[in-house]
Structure 1
């Protein structure tokens, strides 16, 4: 072995030692819940061919990623606040626009798609937590057919879901009869007084923790109550606060999540060179997906803690201790399935036929006006890597709030002050620094904490490297970590300089290939444009309000039926000016075409 190779391996061992011991422990025995039938009427759906078989679909829906909302049996038996109907009842979940599903071995509680069973690695207790399928699976309805689209953005209302969940737990604590029904189902008929007391105390603790999370992510009082609503969420804001407020144990160390976005579609995500709407994260093979997915779990109830290491560990160089409920192997499996997901094709067996004469004309117009930012990828090349377009926000003129909040929010760094932002490289944290760097630091810490485990999970996700060879060694893995952190650090330094003058001159939004775009309304990064036809209107002529939450598909305008829904999305605030975060201006490409030409472009986009 060469001297250089020995030094490299010794350095890698030192990195692992500095972060902490392996997360591999002997877990307590698993006691899985009994299969409990779904509540409410079952829903019959049809599927499109997106490269997944039935087993892969169910695995994607219910594979745990380490999120913990409340204990699993509690969620199975919790009643709604204002009735005896169970919280998980299909009518209730459908109202929240999550997707009810029958009970099975993979889904013993009969919960909606994306609500997975997590067996806590330390205690062995079963929890329910969201997995990526909850936010990236959707259903289109058309003339009585319910069509499931894998990887499509949900219409779910996460904020309303969480509000109603907390209300249900509070009412269960307050109403003795409701609590007794809940306790009987959770503990059994032979429950003891001590068990009842312990359950009530525990319910109080979990409810308080949930209410604290809700308060940390609460919007300013001058924002409308339904600002976030259906089909969008400020994921960056939630992830930031998971790091700054919760991981660092200071609930006041937070920023308000005022930049909600439409959930991105998943097909093509694995293949892109960068991810996130603002192109902030390099998608380095092996490492990129792992970091991206751990960050996602942290934002949806995957606990993250960053603590000072015990004194005896600090003596040999370990400064901080990182811990989380994230299931890294589960993430590896989930990414391996996402990697093979294909975009949905316009289903001719259910939707009106495409006018091929119009579409042919639209193809030429699309190439002239759209393809510079949204390249056309042939269906046979969908699973190959591609370079995503990045366009300056100053050129796009779309709402800048998402990008600004993601990059420029600030927070106290507390115990991280003076340590490297990305643990191995980067500037050291100031007393107050960019908020997003704190959860990023935590995610990197979790990867470095157990490199062999991360390597194993990464290989499951990637299978092989770009050269067709499986990445198998720690040295190669370390090189990928270094490349990923360096790329991210360069981007962060540019943005941090921008943030100082408040203009975010280098801020960008990412333009993806539009394969399957017909199944992903509403449009623009913030979901402020209802359908493809509206997107081609000149910005000042776009609708300034429309109904959201309807599943009924509109095959003409290509989006949902906006004449009905569950919430009225309003672009403007009460003063008649665009509400920050809701603007539908900008992205004026193709808007000067004639109406005939615009309809041709719309027809062509149905074929993508």
Structure 2
């Protein structure tokens, strides 16, 4: 069965998005399949059978979460379907290749016609053209393997290697563009019955233009040669840095206006996200209902190919005081539906097929948890997981973990360019100066997207709203003011405008990391915000005694130490091992900036017997 060719075919007044009492207006997205007219391909390779844990989602919700578009557009869907890897005829989307990149292969279906991995969704633009883009499932779904059984964990942090994926995509497109024979195979598959020398030439021009854009994004977010090859690698990504650069370099159309994304983090788990008062590792975004989740999710899409563009308004609009215009491919209704599902997600419970939890040890561990952990990581019963909670915000200087993520988010700077002189939140906030906090640019873009279509934004924001969230409902202006307060710098007199003290040390004043309930924590290794600690047992070791090197990417689960086994994952016939070494130390045996496994010394003074009891209790959460 072949795949048919695909078609190649204002800012307004203040709108209050937090309307108390409107929660019953919309309870679901009028969702439809954008793949109805695309014939599914027969799956070319076997997809592993997975055990699905009970997390309050049925089969339809799971599939919807995997493949509902949020407006992300990487390249045209047919291109991704037929693109080959750079050095062979093997398809880029093949199960073996995507498994090497750490993504979870799936069978073809009506909503996944090209048999793409979980989280690679079809999106149709306003012209009817089909694109492939990532949805949140690509980064927040995982598989744990134990004694031949594969467990699918919804909302868990992925082990995928986004940087490797994008590097290989850029290389593959460059190779296809440069090799006439390779391109001809590609063109005949994409164009099918519409193939001709003329149509192939048009496709080549479009393909070359897209290959350049992909290469530009890869280059802007690349790390300097001084960083090791596997600095980011499997299971973590500097999402903040990528979102910042998508705003400052791409939305403002100046590729040099960027910062090095050198503060990678472990992907956070999703259960409990909707219920928290703040989101992000550095607790920087208020999660107020209606506006908060929508703004948070739009920001995420901006980072994964949401097509944000901020332009100088045409002359006639500037006469009415409108200085900038905003465009993007973000699908707000899709985001509303995804958030509605995330709101109902529950944490995974320890599987019965795993070694049974020693309840006597766990009982002793529960008492230790109250004294060692509960001050930051509150215990929430499974029946209470849908209730709102306030996360603990611990000062970075106090917790002692790697500060780079929080520091970069606060102190990275960029030119404001076309935004200079406009308000940071369009309707509120200070006016942009010539240079600004880098994160302020994509935040401004998010507000611009919302205000461009307030009716759709309101509808999307209300979709997940429940009665228990009314107390936190805010207007867009109030949300903006809260965001300003959350990101308000607290300056030390000895600190210059680079965010460093006179002696070169980073200024950590006012910076925090978020501590959240540990429901399902057993399924979310590696640990710490930057993924620098391999398993729960290691988190309880004295910082000086923790492992400084371990493998990441192997899905085989260690139920004793609670994490993944410390060995390389097996290579396939065609590709290397889908894993890499995480190295705390640099080539000079110094702790690498961004990779520190220090700090968080809570519970480290316990005896080994007590530590094992505490680990056993955390399996029950």
**Offset at 1:16?**
6.4
Indicate yes or no: 2:39 matched with 1:14. Answer: no
**Offset at 1:105?**
1.0
Matched residue of 2:199: which SS?
helix
8 Å Cα contact 1:69/1:127 also seen in 2: yes
**Offset at 1:335?**
0.2
Q: TM-score normalized by structure 2?
A: 0.91
Per the alignment, residue 411 of structure 2 pairs with: 408
8 Å Cα contact 1:417/1:428 also seen in 2: yes
Indicate yes or no: 2:50 matched with 1:45. Answer: yes
Indicate yes or no: 2:453 matched with 1:450. Answer: yes
Per the alignment, residue 417 of structure 1 pairs with: 420
Distance 1:204 1:38 in 2: 29
8 Å Cα contact 1:285/1:465 also seen in 2: no
**Which is further off, 129-138 or 501-510?**
501-510
Distance 1:170 1:37 in 2: 28
Distance 1:172 1:495 in 2: 51
Matched residue of 1:149: which SS?
strand
Distance 1:496 1:140 in 2: 44
1:71 counterpart (49, 68, 76)? 76
Indicate yes or no: 2:38 matched with 1:33. Answer: yes
Per the alignment, residue 601 of structure 2 pairs with: 588
**Offset at 1:15?**
3.4
Per the alignment, residue 573 of structure 2 pairs with: none
Tell me the number of residue pairs that the alignment of Structure 1 and Structure 2 aligns: 577
Distance 1:594 1:334 in 2: 44
8 Å Cα contact 2:283/2:512 also seen in 1: yes
Deviation string, structure 1 residues 539-596 (Cα, Å, up to 9, x no partner): 0000000011100000000000012232111100001011100000000000000000
Distance 1:91 1:520 in 2: 24
Per the alignment, residue 484 of structure 2 pairs with: 489
Distance 1:166 1:319 in 2: 35
Distance 1:505 1:517 in 2: 29
8 Å Cα contact 2:15/2:476 also seen in 1: no
**Offset at 1:34?**
2.2
Per the alignment, residue 619 of structure 2 pairs with: 606
Q: 1:109 to 1:499 in 2, by over 3 A?
A: farther
Q: TM-score normalized by structure 1?
A: 0.92
Distance 2:357 2:35 in 1: 52
8 Å Cα contact 1:16/1:449 also seen in 2: no
Superposition RMSD on alpha carbons, in Å? 1.8
8 Å Cα contact 1:81/1:172 also seen in 2: yes
Per the alignment, residue 114 of structure 1 pairs with: 119
Distance 2:171 2:220 in 1: 17
8 Å Cα contact 2:11/2:448 also seen in 1: no
**Offset at 1:39?**
2.9
**Offset at 1:308?**
1.1
Indicate yes or no: 2:310 matched with 1:306. Answer: yes
Per the alignment, residue 219 of structure 1 pairs with: 223
1:54 counterpart (54, 59, 68)? 59
Distance 1:215 1:136 in 2: 25
Correspondence 1:236-247 to 2 at 5 A: 236-247=240-251
Correspondence 1:103-182 to 2 at 5 A: 103-121=108-126, 123-182=127-186
**Offset at 1:167?**
1.3
Name the structure with the higher helix share. Answer: 1
The one of the two structures with greater contact order (alpha-carbon pairs below 8 A, sep at least 6) is 2
8 Å Cα contact 1:542/1:584 also seen in 2: yes
**Offset at 1:495?**
5.1
Correspondence 1:305-324 to 2 at 5 A: 305-324=309-328
Distance 1:115 1:248 in 2: 27
8 Å Cα contact 2:140/2:267 also seen in 1: yes
Distance 1:531 1:392 in 2: 23
Distance 1:38 1:484 in 2: 46
Matched residue of 1:208: which SS?
helix
Distance 2:470 2:163 in 1: 43
Distance 2:317 2:220 in 1: 32
Distance 2:460 2:351 in 1: 35
Deviation string, structure 1 residues 460-488 (Cα, Å, up to 9, x no partner): 122446249xx9xxxxx8x5212211111
8 Å Cα contact 1:32/1:126 also seen in 2: no
Distance 2:291 2:236 in 1: 27
Distance 1:449 1:182 in 2: 38
Distance 1:575 1:373 in 2: 35
Distance 1:397 1:554 in 2: 27
